[in-house]
Chain A
């Protein structure tokens, strides 16, 4: 069998790649997909622990995470369409309407 910590290490690596993608890319699509990648890393962790603890709660939580990810993708893509229509760009460093 595969040791539990292999899954934890894989999940940590994928999460870190997602963090770097969110922080460093300019294209807003890739920023959003990196967020999905981080959610998936958490899912791998949950399913691995659910398997090793012989407890289904982790898998239930993965279902809820997928639900929230779907809703988030729908709303975020609508916001991107609005931004691209109003500002004519999809680069996150050009969105400075709120002077943050």
Chain B
């Protein structure tokens, strides 16, 4: 019961801040609502016994990626044309489309046969413990882990090369 109440709180704040995030005019406000959203998603991860991912969510998403967004938003200072329309002219149709997709997914999920009692089983292995996650990551998923490091290197070099001022 307590789990359900906590889940409903986190889910409600997630959906509310996501809706506010895509509707605010000022991108700085959007970034701050995104921050709220990421904190509550980290809370959901804790609820699912994924403590390491909750920490990574806060450190990497909230601490690094969003600060990068905030930095660039403030650097570009795009608040000049605040009278311009914030959405393109198709937005009512797109909202309708979104509601339709949402209804369709909900319908399919609700009539599907998800095991409703799967969460009732006692925790056999400590899913989410950092030790098990590390053993899994460094043995079974070692090659994808190395590829992820190459992706990060490409992102670093690409960002530096793109944003460099070209002298002519």
Point out residues on A near B: beta carbons under 8 Å. 1-10, 12-14, 16-21, 23-27, 29-30, 32-34, 36-37, 40, 43-44, 47-48, 50-57, 59-60, 62-64, 66-75, 77-82, 84, 90-91, 93
Task: Map CB proximity to A onto B44-65 as digits: 1 under 8 Å, 0 otherwise.
Answer: 1101111011001100110011
Distance to closest chain B CB from A91 (angstroms):
7
Tell which of B50, B97, B102 touches A13, judged by Cβ atoms closer than 8 Å: B102
Interface size class for chain B? 35 or more
New A-B pairs, 14, CB < 8 Å, besides A8-B109, A26-B86, A70-B152: A10-B14, A17-B15, A18-B22, A20-B97, A24-B91, A29-B78, A30-B30, A37-B18, A37-B22, A40-B38, A47-B48, A56-B128, A71-B152, A82-B162
Main secondary structure of the interface of B (DSSP, over half): helix
Q: State the CA gap A30–B24 with chains docked (Å).
A: 9
Distance to closest chain B CB from A39 (angstroms):
9
Q: State the CA gap A90–B69 with chains docked (Å).
A: 13
Contacts A29-B30, A67-B152 given; indicate if A77 touches B69 (C-beta within 8 A).
yes
